[in-house]
Chains A and B, each alone.
Chain A
C-alpha cells in the first residue's frame, strides 16, 4: 500500500518555471508548484486561462518550451520516450469528453490498458474490469458501446479505464462539465472516494466552484497562464486576491474583464 502519511510528504509532481507558447503567444508563463502524495489538487481558472494546457504538459501530450515537469522523480521534459511510457503507465486520465474508443465496448475499453501493458490471462482481466466497473457503479453495461450510454455513464467508464492499471496519479480534465448537478456530484464523490480509498494523487482541472469546494485539498488558480494564488481550500476561501474573489463569486465585473481584454474592438 502506498503510504502518504509521513509528515514530510514528498511531491509526486513538481512543476519548475514551466512556460509554453503557441504561435508566439505565451499560454503558460513561468508556472511552478508542487503536488503532494494523496492530495486532490485542483487547477482552477477561467476558460482559456491555460489550465488544460498545463494538464497536457503534465501528461506529456504536449512538449514544454522551458522549465521542468518532474513526475515521481523523473523529469519528463528530458526523458526518453521509453521512460515517458513507463511514467504514463503509472497514471490515468479522465478526459473532458471521456475519449472512449467508439469501436470498442465498455468492457473492452476498460480492458484495453490491461491487455496492452500486462500479461494477465483473459479471465483475470475480466475480473479486474468487473471490479473497476463496480467501483464506478456500472456493472451490467459491459456489452454496451460508448454511443449507447449517457454522457455521465461515459465519464464513469472513462474513470474505470483511468484506474484500470491501479495508477498512483489520476488526471481529471473538467470532470463535471456538461453533466447535471446530481451526476456531477456522483463524479465528485467518486474522485474523493478513489483518492481516499486507493490513495491516489488526483489532479483536477475545473472551473466548477461547487466541485472545488467539495473535493479539493489544495488549489492553484491560473489566469492568463500565470499562477494567481495557491494554497489549501481554506486559503482560497479566505483569499483577498481580487481575481480569486471574482472567480469564486462568478461576478462579471472585476479584474478579470473579458469585454475590456478580448473584445476591445467592439
Chain B
C-alpha cells in the first residue's frame, strides 16, 4: 500500500518534471532558437491554427450558444420570481465571459485538438517518425510541439471570444424571444453591467488553459510507448489530465481574481 503510493508519487513527480522541461524547451525554441538560426516553421503554425482554431469554430459556437440559451431560461425562472427578469441579460453576459465561455471552450478544444495532438504525436512516436526526425538532427520539440503550442496559445482566446459572443446571442434569443424583454433594453443591460475586467479575466484564464492543453497533449504524445494500445492510452490520458487541470486551474485563478478583487 505504502510502496504503491510511493510509486504513484514518484510517477507523478517524474511527469511533472517532464512537462516543465517540455515547457522550457518549447519556450527556448520560440524565443532563443531564432537567434541561433533555428526558427519554428511559420507554415506549420498556420496549419495548426487552422486545424485548432478555424475547425473548432462551429463546435465552440454551438456549445456556447446553447449554454447561453439554457442559462437564460434557468436564471429567468429564479429572477422572474423577484420581478428582476431584465437582469437575465447581465447575468448571462457576466457569467459567460468570466467563467463559462473560457472553461467550456477549453474543454471542447482539449477534447478535440488536445486529443488529436496526443494521437498524432503518439503515432509518430511508435512508428519511429520522431526518432527519424532526431536522427536527421531535426529537434522534434521545435518541429512538432512548438507550432502546436503557439497555435493553441493564440487560437484558444480567439475561440473564447467567439464563445462569449455566441453565448450572449443565445441569451438574447431567449430574452427577446420568450421573455419578451425589449431587444434594445436587453442589449443595453448586457453592456451596462459587463465590465472590461470580466472579459480580460476570462481571457487570462483561456491563455492558461491553452498552455495546459498544448503541454499535456504534446507530452503524452511524445512519451507514448507500446504500439496502438499506447497511442489510445496517451490520447485518453491527455483528455482526462487536461480536463482535471483545466478545472483545477480555473478554481485557482477564480480564487486569485476573487481575493484580489479583480
A binding-site residues for B, Cβ under 8 Å: 59-61, 84-86, 88-89, 93, 95-97, 99-102, 112-113, 116-117, 161
Contacts and interface: CB of A to CB of B under 8 A. Distances in A.
Which are the 5 A-B pairs with shortest beta-carbon distances?
A99-B132, A88-B137, A99-B128, A85-B137, A93-B135
Contacts of A84: 137
A89 B124 CA distance: 21
A62 to B, nearest CB: 10
B129 interface: yes
Interface in B88-147: 123-124, 127-129, 131-138
Contact of B134 (A61, A89, A117): A61
A88 B136 contact: yes
Nearest to A115: B41
Contact of B127 (A85, A86, A99, A112): A99
A16 B176 CA distance: 81
Nearest to A101: B129
Nearest to A103: B120
A16 to B, nearest CB: 22
Do most interface residues of chain B lie in helix, strand or loop, or is the interface mixed? helix
Contact of B129 (A93, A96, A102): A102
B137 A117 contact: yes
A99 B129 contact: yes
A97 B127 contact: yes
Contact of B131 (A85, A86, A99, A102): A99
B138 A112 contact: yes
Contact of A116 (B129, B131, B136): B136
Contacts of B123: 102
Given A112-B136, A113-B138, 15 more contacts: A88-B136, A88-B137, A89-B137, A95-B131, A95-B132, A96-B128, A99-B128, A99-B129, A99-B132, A101-B124, A101-B132, A102-B124, A102-B127, A116-B137, A116-B138
A120 to B, nearest CB: 15
B128 A95 contact: yes
Nearest to B130: A99
Contacts of A59: 135
Contacts of B136: 88, 112-113, 116, 161
A59 B127 CA distance: 17
B10 to A, nearest CB: 16
A161 B138 CA distance: 13
Contacts of B131: 61, 95, 99
A22 B14 CA distance: 19
B21 to A, nearest CB: 14
Contacts of B137: 84-86, 88-89, 116-117
A112 B129 CA distance: 13
A59 B128 CA distance: 13
A72 B115 CA distance: 43
Contacts of B124: 101-102
Nearest to A96: B128
15 contacts: A59-B135, A60-B135, A88-B137, A89-B137, A93-B132, A93-B135, A99-B129, A100-B129, A100-B132, A101-B133, A112-B136, A113-B136, A113-B138, A117-B137, A161-B136
B60 to A, nearest CB: 25
Nearest to A117: B137
Contacts of B127: 97, 99, 102
A97 B127 CA distance: 7
Contacts of A93: 132, 135
Nearest to A116: B138
A117 B38 CA distance: 9
A96 B131 CA distance: 12
A89 B134 CA distance: 10
A95 B133 CA distance: 11
A88 B134 CA distance: 9
A88 B135 contact: yes
Contacts of B135: 59-61, 88, 93
A117 B128 CA distance: 21
B206 to A, nearest CB: 27
Contacts of B133: 101
